[in-house]
Amino acid sequence: MKIATWNVNSLNVRLPQVLRWLDEQQPDVLALQELKLEQDRFPLAAIQAAGYHAVWNGQKTYNGVAILSKLPAHNTIPDLPAFDDPQKRVLAADVGDVRIVCVYCVNGEAVGSEKYAYKERWFSALHEYMQTILQQHSKVVLLGDFNVAPSNIDVYDPEKWRDKILCSVPEREWFGRLLAAGLTDSLHHLDPNTAHYTWWDYRMNMFKRKLGLRIDHILVSEALVACLQQAHVDTHARAWERPSDHAPVWAEFDCHQA
């Protein structure tokens, strides 16, 4: 089973790239973030024509998440149930026997800002939510744009980014609490000593200069770690025309061999 995540930074703009990537990679599940589309504007017909089902949680101009899957998704729950928030950042659904939780985590703007405090509250609510899900399901994937680079190897210039947003010590601790709840960072698990980036600022030719951050992650429960085969960042999609500033990330599992 191949499960992927991609912050597309406007599905309206990036739909051709998404369809191209689906055709090329044929994932079983693709979680999308930053749809930037109202609920009734989702391009369902195009996604279905590509051979995928879809559930989504849309919002005009900002945010929005979706789960595309070859099998129909069931038991869909939008948002964080115990966190009153108008921003559409979370969508959970069952695909087969796997509970998929797609997240577009809060950016936080700047350390110490009001949005940073909101990010802390939001991550706390996500942690509580995932504790419940991990108690209810054995096969769980939490994936998306976390807006956290978990360690210095995930940052092109750790000193420059020290204590800055996405890389501050508290943010890394919030991410660490998710891991401590019973999740494993799939890419880091398979390749802990290599620098991988998933986001590059559009400015200053950051992608061409290979100056990025790894902030998009696929976290998996213990039952899926046992059958994790591969994890990869498709950086070539970041080089396509009119790209998102993020690249797709995918992990592949063979639970029949576990």
The predicted-structure confidence for 198-257, as pLDDT tens digits, reads as follows 999 999 999 999 999 999 999 999 999 999 999 999 999 999 999 999 999 999 999 875
- Catalytic residue (choose from 52, 104, 116, 197): 104
Whole-number pLDDT of residue 138 = 97
The domain total for the chain is 1
Nearest to 107 by CA among 149, 154, 152: 149
The predicted-structure confidence for 55-93, as pLDDT tens digits, reads as follows 999 999 999 999 999 999 999 999 999 899 999 999 999
- Catalytic residue (choose from 28, 79, 94, 145): 145
On whether residue 86 sits in a domain, the answer given is yes
Nearest to 69 by CA among 107, 105, 97, 89: 97
CATH number reported for the structural domain that contains residue 186 in this entry: 3.60.10.10
Q: What is the pTM of this model?
A: 0.98
Whole-number pLDDT of residue 255 = 86
Q: Which residues contact 43 (CB under 8 A, 6 or more apart)?
A: 11, 12, 15
Half-sphere exposure in the Cβ direction for 111 (13 Å, CA): 13
- The amino acid present at 171, given as its one-letter code, is E
At residue 87's C-alpha, the angle toward residues 81 and 91, to 5°, is 50
Please say if 104 is a catalytic residue. yes
DSSP sequence for 54-105:
EEEE--SSS--EEEEESSPEEEEEES-TTS--SS--EEEEEETTEEEEEEE-
Contact 222, 253 (CB under 8 A): no
On whether residue 16 sits in a domain, the answer given is yes
Contact 251, 3 (CB under 8 A): yes
On whether residue 32 sits in a domain, the answer given is yes
Q: Which residues contact 49 (CB under 8 A, 6 or more apart)?
A: none
Whole-number pLDDT of residue 111 = 98
Question: Does the pLDDT at position 258 exceed 70?
Answer: no
Whole-number pLDDT of residue 11 = 98
Question: Does the pLDDT at position 132 exceed 80?
Answer: yes
**How many CB atoms are closer than 10 A to CB 64?**
28
On whether residue 214 sits in a domain, the answer given is yes
**The two three-digit tokens of residue 234, written as one number:** 């498709």
What mean pLDDT do residues 147-155 have? Answer: 98
Range of the domain at 114: 2-253
Partners of 142 in beta bridges: 101, 219
The predicted-structure confidence for 93-116, as pLDDT tens digits, reads as follows 999 999 999 999 999 999 999 999
Whole-number pLDDT of residue 179 = 98
On whether residue 258 sits in a domain, the answer given is no
Of all residues in the chain, the percent with pLDDT exceeding 90 is 98
